[in-house]
């Protein structure tokens, strides 16, 4: 027992501030544009959707943003989360690399999403909001906002893409267990939903339609706002609590990462682990490498264009400059539902464009194989999304074995796979195949980019 496996911090060491990378950007980001006028948006344009504290964070360039006491208080349920040294995996791989993983699956929702669901619920509560609407695909985000709603006594209404609503009844039960309402989208609750159903009563829905439904309700009522679980600056800001804790935990074992690795869908878990370290690099610190891992069948950073685009298929949201496959891109049905998004967080896109983040894409079969190798060594079954980070880490550890270098590799194990066992069942039975996206499909979706 001489070698440390798990570094834990007491509650008192939950960070007091989130880290805002906007303070350290070498070049400013491109402005967010109004979808009607294509002119830069101001706070008032966003006020119908978000509480003012969130809008201020979205636009802030302060390096440190205080975490309110009630949010730290709610974080205590599972934070600080453990940082693991993957000694069994290192041994299984025969690598001299030092592999660390931050485990965000210990949260009550099983992923990193409550890190932002809780402050978003808090800020809404403070500003007198009674109800928050949102959309969810696979259900991780909806589950986390449901949990946050229970903590701050807010009504939560989740529009869940109908195909997932039917396929994943346990995610719905999870949300309802916390008192939230979960509605299959398209629904008869909204104009947007009714319009889709009038056109096609059997429509199985999409994230784009679900966003339209959630936004419609939020705009309609003064006591209701809308919340988003990734992509935006304030969401990435909230996730830095994980990276800041990790920094302190690595100090305790006297180490510093040579490479920081995370999977990227909208980008929030990657930003959460990477930005505090990337900020140090931008301020002249160690030249750590940052690797963003995405699915080969939704290759936003590796094959998308860095351009202005809408956040939704219905073109109701503002436009941001980001890596995008086009808002009309329909990702195939691979299992990492949290990575099925046509765009990427503008901050991550910007830093990738500037060369600070190195993107990489993998197919789902090699990711499941890596996830099982990890599980058998470390005891934790990762979420299919997290398997992408696991795969990249194993590849880097094998490269260390071949070169004989002992590098420190850090990745974010952003969630467990307990609600994804159907994916593992399919993989183990040999029933999973590689999902492909043709160049023609990608090119067609990109042809729909706005002329800004």
Q: Which residues bind its own copies (CB under 8 A)?
A: 1, 4-6, 8-12, 14, 69, 72-73, 76-78, 88, 106, 108, 110, 147, 150-151, 169-170, 172-174, 176-179, 372, 375-381, 418-419, 421-422, 424-425, 428
Residue 361 vs 381, nearer CB to its own copies: 381
Q: Minimum distance between the CB of residue 76 and its own copies, rounded to whole angstroms?
A: 4
Smallest distance, its own copies to C-beta of residue 328, A:
34
Task: Compute the least distance from the CB of residue 389 to its own copies, in Å.
Answer: 18
Q: Which is nearer to its own copies, 201 or 379 (CB)?
A: 379
Pick the closer one to its own copies by CB: 277 or 334. 334
On whether the CB atoms of residues 80 and 104 are closer than 8 A, the answer is no
How near is the Cβ of 13 to its own copies at its closest, in Å?
10
CB of 242 to its own copies, least distance (A): 17
Beta carbon of residue 397, minimum distance to its own copies (angstroms, whole number): 19
| Cβ distance to its own copies smaller for residue 65 or 357 | 65
Nearer to its own copies, 49 or 147 (CB): 147
Complex with its own copies: residue 72 or 162, whichever CB lies closer: 72
Shortest distance (Å) from residue 147 CB to its own copies:
6
Tokens of 102: 């931050």
Closest contact distance (angstroms) between CB of 248 and its own copies is: 14
In the complex with its own copies, the residue whose CB is nearer, 7 or 268, is 7
124 cis-preceded (ω within 30 degrees of 0): no
Q: Give the strand pairing for 357-362 and 319-324.
A: unpaired
- Toward its own copies, which CB reaches closer, 403 or 425? 425
Least distance in Å: CB of 227 to its own copies? 18
Compare residues 145 and 319 and give the one whose CB is closer to its own copies. Answer: 145
- Give backbone dihedrals phi and psi of 100, rounded to 5 degrees, phi first: -120, 145
């Amino acid at each position: 027992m001489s070698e440390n496996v798990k570094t834990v911090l007491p509650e008192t060491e939950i960070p007091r501030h989130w880290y805002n990378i906007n303070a350290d950007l070498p070049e400013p980001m491109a402005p967010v544009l109004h979808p009607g006028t294509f002119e830069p948006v101001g706070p008032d344009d966003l006020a119908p959707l978000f509480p003012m504290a969130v809008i201020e964070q979205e636009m802030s360039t302060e390096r440190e943003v205080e975490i309110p006491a009630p949010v730290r208080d709610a974080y205590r349920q599972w934070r600080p989360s453990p940082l693991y040294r993957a000694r069994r995996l290192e041994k299984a791989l025969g690598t001299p690399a030092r592999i660390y993983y931050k485990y965000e699956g210990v949260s009550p929702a099983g992923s990193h999403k409550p890190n932002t669901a809780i402050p978003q619920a808090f800020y809404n509560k403070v500003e007198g909001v009674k109800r928050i609407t949102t959309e969810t695909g696979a259900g991780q985000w909806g589950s986390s906002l449901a949990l946050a709603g229970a903590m701050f006594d807010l009504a939560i209404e989740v529009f869940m893409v109908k195909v997932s609503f039917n396929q994943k009844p346990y995610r719905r039960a999870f949300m309802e267990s916390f008192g939230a309402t979960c509605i299959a989208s398209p629904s008869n609750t909204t104009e947007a939903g009714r319009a889709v159903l009038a056109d096609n009563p059997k429509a199985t829905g999409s994230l784009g339609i679900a966003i339209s439904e959630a936004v419609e309700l939020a705009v309609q009522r003064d006591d209701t706002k809308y919340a988003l679980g990734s992509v935006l600056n304030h969401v990435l800001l909230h996730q830095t609590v994980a990276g800041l804790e990790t920094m302190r935990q690595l100090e305790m074992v006297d180490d510093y990462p040579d490479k920081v690795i995370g999977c990227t869908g909208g980008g929030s878990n990657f930003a959460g682990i990477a930005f505090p370290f990337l900020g140090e690099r931008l301020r002249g610190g160690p030249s750590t490498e940052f690797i963003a891992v995405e699915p080969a069948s939704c290759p936003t950073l590796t094959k998308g264009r860095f351009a202005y685009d809408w956040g939704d298929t219905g073109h109701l949201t503002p436009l941001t400059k980001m890596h995008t496959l086009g808002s009309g891109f329909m990702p195939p049905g691979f299992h990492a539902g949290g990575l099925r998004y046509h765009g990427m967080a503008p901050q991550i896109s910007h830093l990738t464009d500037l060369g600070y983040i190195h993107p990489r894409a993998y197919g789902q079969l090699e990711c499941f194989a890596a996830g099982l190798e990890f599980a058998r060594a470390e005891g934790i079954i990762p979420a299919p999304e997290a398997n992408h980070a696991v795969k990249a880490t194993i590849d880097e550890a094998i490269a260390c074995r071949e070169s004989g270098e002992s590098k420190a590799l850090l990745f974010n194990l952003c969630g467990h796979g307990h609600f994804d066992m159907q994916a593992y069942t399919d993989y183990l039975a040999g029933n999973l195949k590689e999902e492909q996206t043709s160049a023609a499909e990608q090119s067609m979706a990109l042809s729909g980019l706005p002329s800004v």
